[in-house]
Amino acid sequence: MNALTIIAKYDLVIDGTDNFPTRYLVNDACVMLGKVNIYGSIYRFEGQATVFDPRKDASGVRRGPCYRCLYPEPPPPGEVPSCAEGGVLGVLPGMIAMIQATEAIKVLTGMGRSLAGRFLRYDALNLSFRELKLRSDPQCPVCSATPSITQLIDYHEFCGLKRGQPEANEELEISVHDYAALRERGEEHLLLDVREPFELGICQIEGNVNVPLGQLSARLGELAPWKHKLVISQCKSGRRSMKALETLAKHGFTKVRNLSGGILAWGEEIDPSINAY
């Protein structure tokens, strides 16, 4: 937890992170240090930007809300797909980054009116910008007048992630080594790859059946012959496949396992020809 030491040396932070633990960590550290945090995020064809300005004016009032005022709770782990999973329009990061850079220059030079208190949404498909008003949450645990969080916390824990193996349920996991041995023995099983079709274009394990997680509930009928046979669920990192496993178990599939660490672990430990992404 050296975020405070690192950020203390800088005038402002431009948030280019892609995960929730880091977002909350950067936010809290910036509020505690009174540093401006220039926020941007992207997903598929949409981008968002704002300025979190926790600096206090002469009367001790902060200039704007913080990330926690906007999102008091992180989403459940695995619910929001990463850019690698959900995809992102290639030029979109450039668009949002230029807005962030513009805001950074304005904050540093004290010119113009920043996006503090305004949430900008950019829709690339429509080529439209929308602006929402952001208010400080008087109960905000970090930036309110009486904060309940005054030191950095364990952000992985806060976001419901255990270090290393997010959401792993050990009894249901199968390691890539055990799975390799199982394949070697020729044991009957179904390898269910629940990634998106474009991800299979990057890499895949031979013999898989692809049913993207979002289609699984609707396509369970196709898997009926496997209801009481071994099904090994697999995705990129093991998180989506765990969700798939839960769906299968709920619908009466009795022998389900999750490939621990997903195809990335398979590539690292077993098959070096797998393209990492």
- Contacts (Cβ under 8 Å, ≥6 apart) of 145: 138
Part in contact with Zn ion (CB under 5 A); list of ranges 13-21, 61-69, 197-205, 234-242: 61-69
Which one among 69, 134, 248, 263 touches Zn ion, defined by CB under 5 A? Answer: 69
Nearer to Zn ion, 66 or 191 (CB): 66
Dihedral of CA atoms 164, 165, 170, 172 in degrees, nearest 10, equals -160
Does residue 30 have an active-site annotation? Answer: no
**Smallest separation, CB 62 to Zn ion (Å):** 8
For residues 138 and 214, which CB has a smaller minimum distance to Zn ion in the complex?
138
Nearest alpha carbon to residue 193 among 252, 256, 236, 230: 236
User: Residues 128 to 167: which contact Zn ion by CB under 5 A?
Assistant: 140, 143
What does the DSSP 8-state code read for residue 76?
P
Provide the minimum distance between the beta carbon of 70 and Zn ion in the complex, in angstroms, as a whole number: 8
Q: How far is CA 168 from CA 161, 204, 246, 260, in A?
A: 9, 22, 12, 8
* Closer by beta carbon to Zn ion, 143 or else 192: 143
Q: Is 203 a catalytic residue?
A: no
Query: Measured from the CB atom, is 38 or 143 closer to Zn ion?
Result: 143
Nearest 5°: CA angle at 173, between 169 and 176? 145
Compute the least distance from the CB of residue 72 to Zn ion, in Å: 8
Q: How far is the CB of 107 from Zn ion (least distance, A)?
A: 18
| Spatial separation of the C-alpha atoms in residues 178 and 79, rounded to whole Å | 28
Q: Give min distance, CB of 24 to Zn ion, in A.
A: 11
**Is position 194 an interface residue for Zn ion (rule: CB under 5 A)?**
no
DSSP letter (8 states) at residue 272: T
In Å, how far are 45, 218, 235 from 200, measured between CA atoms? 22, 20, 10
Q: 3-state class of 273 per DSSP?
A: coil
Per DSSP, the residues of 137-205 read -TT-TTTSSS-S--S---HHHHTT--SSSTT--GGGEE-HHHHHHHHHTT---EEEE-S-HHHHHH---
Give the number of other CB atoms < 10 A from CB of residue 33.
16
Q: Measured from the CB atom, is 104 or 143 closer to Zn ion?
A: 143
Which one-letter amino acid corresponds to residue 143? C
Report the residue from 66, 205, 265, 274 that binds Zn ion according to the rule CB under 5 A. Answer: 66
How many residues contact Zn ion, by CB under 5 A? 5
- Residue 104 lies near Zn ion (rule: CB under 5 A): no
Q: Which of 30, 83, 159, 203 is catalytic?
A: 83
Residue position matching structure tokens 């660490």: 261
Nearer to Zn ion, 66 or 115 (CB): 66
User: Could you say which of 23, 62, 68, 156 contacts Zn ion (CB under 5 A)?
Assistant: 68
Select the span of 17-25, 63-71, 169-177, 180-188 touching Zn ion (CB under 5 A): 63-71
**What is the nearest approach in angstroms of Zn ion to the Cβ of residue 218?**
40
List the catalytic residues.
83, 235
Residues interacting with Zn ion, by CB under 5 A? Answer: 66, 68-69, 140, 143
